[in-house]
Amino acid sequence: MYGAILGDIIGSPYEFDRGNKTKDFPFFDKGETFTDDSVMTIAVAEALMQAIADGVIDNEAATKDLIIDSMHKWGHRYPDAGYGGRFYFWLRDNSREPYNSFGNGSAMRVAAVGWLFDDLDTTRKVARWTSEVTHNHPEGVKGAEATASAIFLARTGSSKEEIKDYIISEFGYDLGRTCDEIRPNYYHVESCQETVPEAITAFLEGNDFEDVIRTAVSLGGDCDTLTCIAGSIAEAYCGVPDALKKECEDRLPMSMLAVLRMMVVLQ
Protein backbone atom coordinates (compact mmCIF):
# COMPACT_ATOMS: atom_id res chain seq x y z
CA MET A 1 0.00 0.00 0.00
CA TYR A 2 3.03 2.27 -0.15
CA GLY A 3 1.93 3.40 -3.61
CA ALA A 4 -1.49 4.55 -2.47
CA ILE A 5 -0.16 6.41 0.57
CA LEU A 6 2.70 8.03 -1.34
CA GLY A 7 0.25 9.13 -4.01
CA ASP A 8 -1.88 10.75 -1.33
CA ILE A 9 1.08 12.45 0.37
CA ILE A 10 2.73 13.70 -2.82
CA GLY A 11 -0.52 14.81 -4.42
CA SER A 12 -1.97 16.56 -1.37
CA PRO A 13 -0.30 19.99 -1.84
CA TYR A 14 -1.79 20.21 -5.33
CA GLU A 15 -5.37 19.30 -4.46
CA PHE A 16 -8.12 21.76 -5.41
CA ASP A 17 -6.28 22.64 -8.62
CA ARG A 18 -3.36 24.25 -6.77
CA GLY A 19 -0.73 22.85 -9.13
CA ASN A 20 0.35 24.15 -12.51
CA LYS A 21 -0.30 20.91 -14.42
CA THR A 22 3.31 19.92 -14.92
CA LYS A 23 5.30 16.78 -14.20
CA ASP A 24 8.26 18.91 -13.15
CA PHE A 25 7.77 19.51 -9.43
CA PRO A 26 9.62 18.57 -6.22
CA PHE A 27 8.21 15.61 -4.35
CA PHE A 28 8.88 16.64 -0.77
CA ASP A 29 9.33 20.33 -0.12
CA LYS A 30 5.89 21.60 0.93
CA GLY A 31 5.45 19.87 4.29
CA GLU A 32 3.58 17.06 2.59
CA THR A 33 1.55 14.80 4.86
CA PHE A 34 -1.10 12.15 4.61
CA THR A 35 -4.81 12.95 4.32
CA ASP A 36 -8.09 11.07 4.66
CA ASP A 37 -7.10 8.88 1.71
CA SER A 38 -4.30 7.28 3.71
CA VAL A 39 -6.30 7.09 6.93
CA MET A 40 -9.12 5.18 5.27
CA THR A 41 -6.73 3.00 3.27
CA ILE A 42 -5.21 1.94 6.58
CA ALA A 43 -8.66 1.48 8.14
CA VAL A 44 -9.85 -0.86 5.38
CA ALA A 45 -6.59 -2.82 5.40
CA GLU A 46 -6.75 -3.35 9.16
CA ALA A 47 -10.38 -4.48 8.99
CA LEU A 48 -9.74 -6.98 6.21
CA MET A 49 -6.69 -8.43 7.94
CA GLN A 50 -8.83 -8.83 11.07
CA ALA A 51 -11.59 -10.52 9.07
CA ILE A 52 -9.07 -12.96 7.61
CA ALA A 53 -7.54 -13.66 11.03
CA ASP A 54 -10.99 -14.19 12.58
CA GLY A 55 -12.05 -16.51 9.77
CA VAL A 56 -15.04 -14.37 8.79
CA ILE A 57 -13.79 -12.97 5.49
CA ASP A 58 -16.40 -15.03 3.61
CA ASN A 59 -19.18 -13.54 5.74
CA GLU A 60 -20.36 -10.30 4.15
CA ALA A 61 -22.17 -8.91 7.19
CA ALA A 62 -19.33 -9.69 9.60
CA THR A 63 -16.69 -8.26 7.27
CA LYS A 64 -18.70 -5.10 6.67
CA ASP A 65 -19.13 -4.66 10.43
CA LEU A 66 -15.37 -4.84 10.88
CA ILE A 67 -14.83 -2.31 8.07
CA ILE A 68 -17.33 0.12 9.59
CA ASP A 69 -15.82 -0.26 13.06
CA SER A 70 -12.32 0.32 11.71
CA MET A 71 -13.33 3.36 9.68
CA HIS A 72 -14.98 4.89 12.72
CA LYS A 73 -11.97 4.14 14.90
CA TRP A 74 -9.41 5.62 12.51
CA GLY A 75 -11.68 8.51 11.52
CA HIS A 76 -12.11 9.56 15.15
CA ARG A 77 -8.38 9.18 15.72
CA TYR A 78 -7.69 11.57 12.82
CA PRO A 79 -10.80 13.77 12.65
CA ASP A 80 -9.17 16.59 10.69
CA ALA A 81 -7.68 14.59 7.83
CA GLY A 82 -9.81 16.29 5.17
CA TYR A 83 -12.85 14.07 4.77
CA GLY A 84 -15.60 14.87 2.32
CA GLY A 85 -18.70 16.49 3.81
CA ARG A 86 -21.06 13.51 3.76
CA PHE A 87 -18.42 11.09 4.97
CA TYR A 88 -17.47 13.49 7.78
CA PHE A 89 -21.05 13.48 9.05
CA TRP A 90 -21.17 9.69 8.69
CA LEU A 91 -18.11 9.50 10.94
CA ARG A 92 -19.32 12.12 13.38
CA ASP A 93 -22.66 10.42 13.85
CA ASN A 94 -21.14 6.94 14.11
CA SER A 95 -23.53 5.92 11.37
CA ARG A 96 -23.66 2.34 10.16
CA GLU A 97 -25.83 3.07 7.12
CA PRO A 98 -24.56 3.86 3.60
CA TYR A 99 -25.57 7.10 1.89
CA ASN A 100 -25.58 6.26 -1.82
CA SER A 101 -22.41 8.16 -2.68
CA PHE A 102 -20.54 7.87 -5.96
CA GLY A 103 -17.62 9.88 -4.62
CA ASN A 104 -14.07 8.70 -5.23
CA GLY A 105 -13.59 7.78 -1.57
CA SER A 106 -14.57 4.21 -2.36
CA ALA A 107 -11.68 3.86 -4.82
CA MET A 108 -9.08 5.73 -2.79
CA ARG A 109 -9.29 3.34 0.19
CA VAL A 110 -9.46 -0.03 -1.62
CA ALA A 111 -5.76 -0.75 -2.22
CA ALA A 112 -5.47 -3.57 0.33
CA VAL A 113 -8.16 -5.58 -1.44
CA GLY A 114 -6.03 -5.85 -4.55
CA TRP A 115 -3.24 -7.50 -2.55
CA LEU A 116 -4.99 -9.80 -0.08
CA PHE A 117 -6.84 -12.31 -2.25
CA ASP A 118 -5.83 -15.02 -4.66
CA ASP A 119 -8.47 -14.66 -7.36
CA LEU A 120 -10.19 -11.84 -9.19
CA ASP A 121 -13.75 -12.83 -8.27
CA THR A 122 -13.00 -12.58 -4.55
CA THR A 123 -11.09 -9.35 -5.09
CA ARG A 124 -14.09 -7.79 -6.79
CA LYS A 125 -16.53 -9.10 -4.20
CA VAL A 126 -14.60 -7.74 -1.24
CA ALA A 127 -13.93 -4.44 -3.03
CA ARG A 128 -17.68 -4.14 -3.46
CA TRP A 129 -18.20 -4.70 0.26
CA THR A 130 -15.64 -2.03 1.19
CA SER A 131 -17.54 0.43 -0.98
CA GLU A 132 -21.08 -0.47 0.00
CA VAL A 133 -20.65 0.41 3.67
CA THR A 134 -20.86 4.07 2.58
CA HIS A 135 -20.63 4.43 -1.21
CA ASN A 136 -23.39 2.06 -2.30
CA HIS A 137 -24.22 3.97 -5.50
CA PRO A 138 -23.41 1.79 -8.55
CA GLU A 139 -20.72 4.25 -9.68
CA GLY A 140 -19.10 4.21 -6.25
CA VAL A 141 -19.05 0.42 -6.25
CA LYS A 142 -17.71 0.35 -9.80
CA GLY A 143 -14.83 2.66 -8.91
CA ALA A 144 -13.75 0.45 -6.02
CA GLU A 145 -14.04 -2.75 -8.04
CA ALA A 146 -12.16 -1.31 -11.01
CA THR A 147 -9.30 -0.05 -8.86
CA ALA A 148 -8.94 -3.29 -6.91
CA SER A 149 -9.13 -5.29 -10.15
CA ALA A 150 -6.37 -3.22 -11.74
CA ILE A 151 -4.15 -3.76 -8.69
CA PHE A 152 -4.80 -7.51 -8.71
CA LEU A 153 -4.10 -7.81 -12.43
CA ALA A 154 -0.96 -5.68 -12.15
CA ARG A 155 0.52 -7.71 -9.31
CA THR A 156 -0.27 -11.05 -10.96
CA GLY A 157 1.57 -10.36 -14.20
CA SER A 158 -0.96 -8.86 -16.59
CA SER A 159 0.37 -6.42 -19.15
CA LYS A 160 -0.82 -2.84 -19.29
CA GLU A 161 -2.77 -3.65 -22.45
CA GLU A 162 -4.47 -6.57 -20.71
CA ILE A 163 -5.34 -4.40 -17.72
CA LYS A 164 -6.72 -1.69 -20.00
CA ASP A 165 -8.82 -4.16 -21.98
CA TYR A 166 -10.24 -5.71 -18.81
CA ILE A 167 -11.20 -2.37 -17.26
CA ILE A 168 -12.89 -1.22 -20.46
CA SER A 169 -14.79 -4.46 -21.03
CA GLU A 170 -15.87 -4.98 -17.41
CA PHE A 171 -16.49 -1.42 -16.24
CA GLY A 172 -17.01 0.61 -19.40
CA TYR A 173 -14.58 3.37 -18.51
CA ASP A 174 -13.25 5.52 -21.33
CA LEU A 175 -9.51 4.89 -21.40
CA GLY A 176 -9.09 6.13 -24.94
CA ARG A 177 -7.98 9.65 -24.06
CA THR A 178 -4.33 10.48 -23.46
CA CYS A 179 -3.21 12.46 -20.44
CA ASP A 180 -2.36 15.34 -22.79
CA GLU A 181 -5.98 15.31 -23.91
CA ILE A 182 -7.35 15.08 -20.37
CA ARG A 183 -5.10 17.70 -18.75
CA PRO A 184 -6.26 21.04 -20.25
CA ASN A 185 -9.90 20.82 -19.19
CA TYR A 186 -9.63 18.60 -16.14
CA TYR A 187 -10.64 20.20 -12.86
CA HIS A 188 -11.28 19.34 -9.21
CA VAL A 189 -14.07 16.77 -9.16
CA GLU A 190 -14.66 14.11 -6.53
CA SER A 191 -16.73 11.48 -8.33
CA CYS A 192 -15.49 8.00 -9.16
CA GLN A 193 -16.57 8.35 -12.77
CA GLU A 194 -14.34 11.41 -13.23
CA THR A 195 -11.38 10.24 -11.16
CA VAL A 196 -10.86 6.50 -11.60
CA PRO A 197 -10.46 6.45 -15.41
CA GLU A 198 -8.08 9.40 -15.27
CA ALA A 199 -6.01 7.69 -12.57
CA ILE A 200 -5.86 4.46 -14.55
CA THR A 201 -4.83 6.41 -17.65
CA ALA A 202 -1.98 8.02 -15.69
CA PHE A 203 -0.85 4.55 -14.63
CA LEU A 204 -1.02 3.26 -18.18
CA GLU A 205 1.09 6.13 -19.52
CA GLY A 206 3.71 6.20 -16.75
CA ASN A 207 7.10 4.66 -17.44
CA ASP A 208 7.83 3.70 -13.82
CA PHE A 209 6.45 4.41 -10.35
CA GLU A 210 7.81 7.94 -10.10
CA ASP A 211 6.62 8.81 -13.59
CA VAL A 212 3.11 7.55 -12.81
CA ILE A 213 3.00 9.80 -9.74
CA ARG A 214 4.25 12.81 -11.70
CA THR A 215 1.80 12.13 -14.53
CA ALA A 216 -1.16 11.86 -12.14
CA VAL A 217 -0.26 15.06 -10.30
CA SER A 218 0.13 16.88 -13.62
CA LEU A 219 -3.52 16.25 -14.45
CA GLY A 220 -4.69 18.42 -11.55
CA GLY A 221 -8.14 17.92 -10.10
CA ASP A 222 -8.61 16.02 -6.85
CA CYS A 223 -4.91 15.43 -6.88
CA ASP A 224 -4.33 13.49 -3.68
CA THR A 225 -7.06 10.96 -4.47
CA LEU A 226 -6.27 10.72 -8.17
CA THR A 227 -2.61 10.08 -7.39
CA CYS A 228 -3.46 7.71 -4.55
CA ILE A 229 -5.39 5.52 -6.99
CA ALA A 230 -2.76 5.72 -9.73
CA GLY A 231 0.03 5.03 -7.24
CA SER A 232 -1.74 2.00 -5.82
CA ILE A 233 -1.84 0.38 -9.26
CA ALA A 234 1.69 1.47 -10.15
CA GLU A 235 3.12 -0.17 -7.03
CA ALA A 236 1.51 -3.47 -8.00
CA TYR A 237 2.91 -3.25 -11.52
CA CYS A 238 6.45 -2.01 -11.02
CA GLY A 239 7.12 -1.66 -7.29
CA VAL A 240 8.16 1.37 -5.26
CA PRO A 241 11.78 2.52 -4.89
CA ASP A 242 13.21 1.98 -1.42
CA ALA A 243 13.99 5.69 -1.02
CA LEU A 244 10.32 6.57 -1.56
CA LYS A 245 9.22 3.86 0.87
CA LYS A 246 11.47 5.49 3.46
CA GLU A 247 9.93 8.90 2.76
CA CYS A 248 6.50 7.35 3.21
CA GLU A 249 7.40 5.71 6.51
CA ASP A 250 8.94 8.91 7.85
CA ARG A 251 5.59 10.69 7.36
CA LEU A 252 3.37 8.16 9.10
CA PRO A 253 2.65 7.78 12.80
CA MET A 254 3.61 4.44 14.32
CA SER A 255 0.00 3.26 14.52
CA MET A 256 -0.47 3.60 10.76
CA LEU A 257 2.99 2.28 10.01
CA ALA A 258 2.26 -0.89 11.99
CA VAL A 259 -0.74 -1.66 9.75
CA LEU A 260 1.26 -0.92 6.61
CA ARG A 261 4.06 -3.23 7.71
CA MET A 262 1.60 -6.02 8.51
CA MET A 263 0.23 -5.68 4.98
CA VAL A 264 3.74 -6.09 3.62
CA VAL A 265 4.09 -9.33 5.58
CA LEU A 266 0.82 -10.69 4.15
CA GLN A 267 1.44 -9.66 0.54
What's the 3-state SS for the chain? CHHHHHHHHHHHHHCCCCCCCCCCCCCCCCCCCCCHHHHHHHHHHHHHHHHHHHCCCCCHHHHHHHHHHHHHHHHHHCCCCCCCHHHHHHHHCCCCCCCCCCECHHHHCCHHHHHHCCCHHHHHHHHHHHHHCCCCCHHHHHHHHHHHHHHHHHHCCCCHHHHHHHHHHHHCCCCCCCHHHHHHHCCCCCEHHHCHHHHHHHHHHCCCHHHHHHHHHHHCCCHHHHHHHHHHHHHHHHCCCHHHHHHHHHCCCHHHHHHHHHHHHHC
Q: Which amino acid is at 10?
A: I
What is the extent of the structural domain holding 63?
Answer: 2-266
Task: For the chain, give the percent of residues with pLDDT over 90.
Answer: 94
How far apart CA 87 and CA 93 sit, in angstroms, is 10
Of 211, 159, 201, residue with least CA distance to 180:
201
Of 165, 133, 132, residue with least CA distance to 149:
165
Residue 30 has pLDDT above 80, yes or no: no
- CATH code at 231? 1.10.4080.10
On whether the CB atoms of residues 68 and 96 are closer than 8 A, the answer is: yes
Choose the weakest-confidence range: 7-16, 132-141, 163-172. 7-16
pLDDT band at 264 (very low <50, low <70, confident <90, very high): confident
pTM as predicted: 0.97
- pLDDT tens digits along 199-255: 999 999 999 999 999 999 999 999 999 999 999 999 999 999 999 999 999 999 999
How far apart CA 14 and CA 54 sit, in angstroms, is 40
Of 130, 88, 124, residue with least CA distance to 109:
130
How far apart CA 162 and CA 248 sit, in angstroms, is 30
On whether the CB atoms of residues 189 and 221 are closer than 8 A, the answer is: yes
Of 148, 120, 121, 146, residue with least CA distance to 41:
148
Say how many domains are in the chain: 1
pLDDT band at 62 (very low <50, low <70, confident <90, very high): very high
pLDDT band at 21 (very low <50, low <70, confident <90, very high): very high
